[in-house]
A = this chain, B = another copy of it.
Amino acid sequence: MFRVNDNFCKLPSAYLFSQVAEKVRGYIEAHPGVEVIRMGIGDVTRPICDAAVQAMHEAVDDEADAARFHGYGPEQGYEFLRAAIAENDYRARGVEISESEIFIGDGAKSDTGKIGDILWPGSRVAVTDPVYPVYVDTNVMGGRGGDLCTDGYWSGIEYLRCDFDNGFVPSLPMGQPDVIYLCYPNNPTGTVLTRAQLAEWVDYARHNGSLILFDAAYEAYITQDDVPHSIYEIDGAREVAIEFRSFSKTAGFTGLRCGYTVVPKELKGHDGAGREVSLNALWNRRQSTKFNGASYIVQRGAAAIYTDAGKEQVRTTIDYYLRNAGLLYDGVRNAGLEAVGGKNSPYVWLRTPDGMTSWEFFDRLLDRCHVVGTPGIGFGPAGEGCFRLTGFNTYENTQKAIERLGKL
């Protein structure tokens, strides 16, 4: 009988958000009529902005007309979208990224998972702790995890602790990792790195020969001036970093599926013989062989958020979520809990009261307040005793959740 990739078998059976969803389903079935407020999974709730909606209607009409029909598009994404990104997300911030360095994909989760295809299976990986579980799980699948230890850590991965004690600023790695995942504004903690702090990482990567995988999915939520929107705002980053962006949190595209990945031309790794290899060329090859482009309709929608009207509409929605996140942060603090985030991020990360575990707090919050959050332990061992709430619900529900929390 043929053999499977049994690295998969090392993974604990369920993915965090599926586990949360299952618990909530069970609770609602057992308590019909209860109004549950969901602040768990980082999914948006506001509708797609009008500019993108109109653009997608037009794109659907294109597909209905033989003369305007769009079949296979470029695997790298349409020029109209890549150009809008280069201009608005980069050039407007003083960063020069060429269109051929931008690859449109079906979302940052997909791309941060797939990027492992072009990396050596034996690469040593470092992640912050807590961490977005996809980085860890996809590396375990790719054979880079080592073994799962009883303390919840994978033996092959270096964890860089971020907690209330170190102000959520991870120390530089000790183990000379080949690949370092950084996500800022951070999921799950909602914390950020300043320009000076991120520059230390770029310097480290340049000296150590590491690759930084920089996940900037929450970039649109940044409100502080000294927080970089792109890692390429840092000198030298083009030689060491791949950046992932998403339209999911920026423009509510979680159900539409679009994001992009930037792979600068200067970024080089080496092959087994020590020869330099362009990562832009490898990723281009990966995408042309194993991907057929994001949906034309959705790319048209994404391009529309860069119009004047689109920018304004998207900004309104992000401000709405940020107001919620601020409200949550204040509410949690007023309830006497220690917390971070909520300022440059839709996420608030809190320390559970009375030394409760994350899942104990999850159960209590669901049972007493009918509020769903995400247990910190789901993001790694350093998340134990912590909990994530999101500003993605409505303003009214956020207020309600805060009231209920106050009574806890």
Contact = CB atoms under 8 A, between A and B. Distances in A.
Interface of A: 1-6, 8-9, 11, 15, 18, 41, 43-48, 50, 53, 56-57, 60-61, 63-66, 69-73, 106-107, 109-110, 113-114, 117-123, 134, 137-138, 141, 143, 178-179, 209-211, 252, 254-257, 268-272, 276-277, 279, 282, 285-286, 288-298
A56 B4 contact: no
Nearest to A1: B209
A288 B69 CA distance: 32
26 contacts: A2-B270, A3-B122, A3-B123, A3-B272, A4-B120, A4-B270, A5-B282, A8-B277, A8-B282, A15-B288, A43-B72, A45-B66, A53-B61, A56-B60, A63-B255, A72-B254, A106-B257, A107-B292, A113-B290, A114-B290, A138-B289, A141-B290, A256-B297, A257-B294, A295-B295, A298-B298
A256 B276 CA distance: 37
A15 B69 CA distance: 24
A6 B120 contact: yes
A322 to B, nearest CB: 18
A282 B234 CA distance: 40
Given A48-B63, A53-B61, 15 more contacts: A1-B209, A2-B210, A2-B211, A3-B272, A4-B271, A4-B277, A5-B118, A15-B288, A18-B288, A45-B69, A50-B64, A73-B255, A114-B290, A257-B294, A298-B298
Q: How many copies does the complex hold?
A: 2
Contact of A72 (B41, B110, B114, B121): B41
Nearest to A254: B71
Contact of A255 (B1, B4, B71, B279): B71
Contacts of A71: 43-45, 252, 254-255
A292 B110 contact: yes
A76 to B, nearest CB: 11
Contacts of A46: 66, 69
A138 B4 CA distance: 16
A212 B71 CA distance: 29
A380 to B, nearest CB: 15
- 9 closest pairs, A vs B, by CB? A113-B290, A6-B271, A2-B178, A1-B209, A3-B120, A4-B269, A43-B71, A71-B254, A255-B296
